[in-house]
Chain A
């Protein structure tokens, strides 16, 4: 009963007119972000943090945090809807989680069934979104109650597990991913030490005393980095876009995709809950599963609707599932949720078990708004899919410089210092270089967000144990987390040595 009551209160928050507006704007921008190739959900969310911070600046902190997180989460799952559009119409996925959608989706478009493919992916995404939200509602209370029992040692190990999981699955080389993680942790130590008040690595430069701002790094590495990449590698010739004739799927289509949608949703949800494994892996696994259970596996890749319905449901369910560790444990499992977490921390709201007790408005308001947002997305995507398809044609000539200008404005409005703008440009260059050379940047951002908390919990635990490092292995839960963390790094390495092909998670 408790949960239902909280959820109703959440709807009261989410149904305030400005929050409906925020959810609406969020999912529309999210869909656009998903449609535009080159801007993934991660840079979309990073780019919008300063913008939302500006818009909500006049509101009380609590309400401002609720409204901005509603908008930012809307961008996140909205992008999952939008990503399928370009996969199907252009054969160029708007973001990595829609790569497998292109396999069958583009074939369907070639056969004149683009409308059916698009609407099935919208319906699948909607069903998956709702299923994962129900999972979130059911798991939120028990998980956060469990997490309340955690001491600093357990938290330290759990965060380490989160970092290892993301690094272990990110990119081609574990070494490079781990290097990026450690770099992020190092950046997090710059500034005044929260425990002792001693300045570390500031070299008497005043701007460094406050620490390196997460926002600047995230916007620089993702948004600006991607813009630089697109400027450098721009292809002049534009591909023709497949025509959309009939939007509604036939009864046969619906019948064929009902089971894949259900399977994809459940699979995606559980993969999303796991740290490190995100929407990309979820859609990939769903595709493999559909191919295995199908009676006609040879029809995959030739326009089988199950190959669109399954993965599209899975990636949306995964993005919902990924909210669970973020909200209940305070551990983001992917790059995008790390950025969402950074946004919450900017508003002085600490995600984690206490979120549901201290800020029920934010936690439940967000969950309720996701129900509304998913409904809006379904309504938007069915009739308006032709309009969104037009966004693909936005000339890059105008789009890219305006993205740079928006990032500059956003970062300057929040930080009010030109130092952060220079840092932004530098991060953009590094972001481009790193991604180009297979250094995944998501672990860096995740580590930057988690770093200070990892250190605090480590020192708290060591203070409790009087400096005895055994505390991390004598607590059974902490030991369990550490073992899983090590396994996450070691098992893929062993599999690689055995010559198995290991699925890796691309940036999302």
Chain B
């Protein structure tokens, strides 16, 4: 996995560096009154990244013959997937259904994904956290968090 990741990332970094170099060339040149404009520094960075990514690609292909380590079995990709999706849903819903409700739902789902069962203590902990943080932040510290605003 490390090796194939390195190959892909080496290429990706190379592409990023090329995009960065072309991007910095489009920045207008010297700023008034100073010898070095806003484009020089990003240009240098882009070139350095390009060289480094070439070196990374070279290193990975050189070591290509090495045997690969066995990865740990039982990676819980499904769990992480569900939590990622619910996190994204959480962000989308945050400003629509408000902080308390969205946080509560997210925590409840995440708790159950981590380990099924104990639904009542999950509900209690999720409710205490979301309502507690809201009350403390809004009432005690005078901040604002999104409220329920469907209407």
Contacts and interface: CB of A to CB of B under 8 A. Distances in A.
Interface string A441-462: 0000000000000010011001
A176 B56 contact: yes
B91 A422 contact: yes
Contacts of B42: 186, 189, 200-201
B120 interface: no
B151 interface: no
B150 interface: no
Interface in B81-113: 83-84, 87-88, 90-92, 94-95, 99, 103, 106-107, 110-111
B91 A425 contact: yes
B80 to A, nearest CB: 5
B75 A233 contact: yes
B83 to A, nearest CB: 6
A195 interface: yes
A185 B46 CA distance: 10
A173 to B, nearest CB: 7
Interface residues of A, number: 56
Nearest to A418: B91
Contact of B91 (A54, A200, A421): A421
B133 interface: yes
A413 B137 contact: yes
Interface string A390-427: 00000111101110110011001100001001100100
B128 to A, nearest CB: 11
Instruction: Determine the interface band of chain B, counting residues with CB < 8 A from chain A.
Output: 35 or more
B110 A401 contact: yes
B110 A232 contact: no
A438 B80 contact: no
What secondary structure prevails in chain B residues at the interface with A? helix
A463 B38 CA distance: 12
A331 to B, nearest CB: 19
A189 B45 contact: yes
A402 B107 contact: yes
Given A400-B110, A438-B2, A462 B35 contact: yes
B87 A404 contact: yes
A421 B45 contact: no
Interface in A169-208: 173, 175-176, 178-179, 182-183, 185-186, 189, 193, 195-196, 198, 200-201
B31 A196 contact: yes
Contacts of A137: none
A75 to B, nearest CB: 19
Contacts of B24: 200
Interface string B110-151: 110011000000100100011001000100011101000000
**Which 10 pairs, one residue from A and one from B, show the smallest C-beta to C-beta distance?**
A467-B35, A401-B110, A196-B31, A193-B38, A397-B114, A397-B115, A421-B91, A462-B36, A437-B5, A463-B34
28 contacts: A54-B143, A176-B56, A179-B52, A189-B45, A195-B31, A196-B31, A196-B32, A196-B37, A196-B38, A231-B80, A397-B114, A400-B110, A401-B110, A404-B83, A412-B145, A418-B91, A421-B91, A421-B94, A422-B91, A425-B88, A437-B6, A437-B9, A458-B41, A459-B34, A462-B35, A462-B36, A466-B35, A467-B35
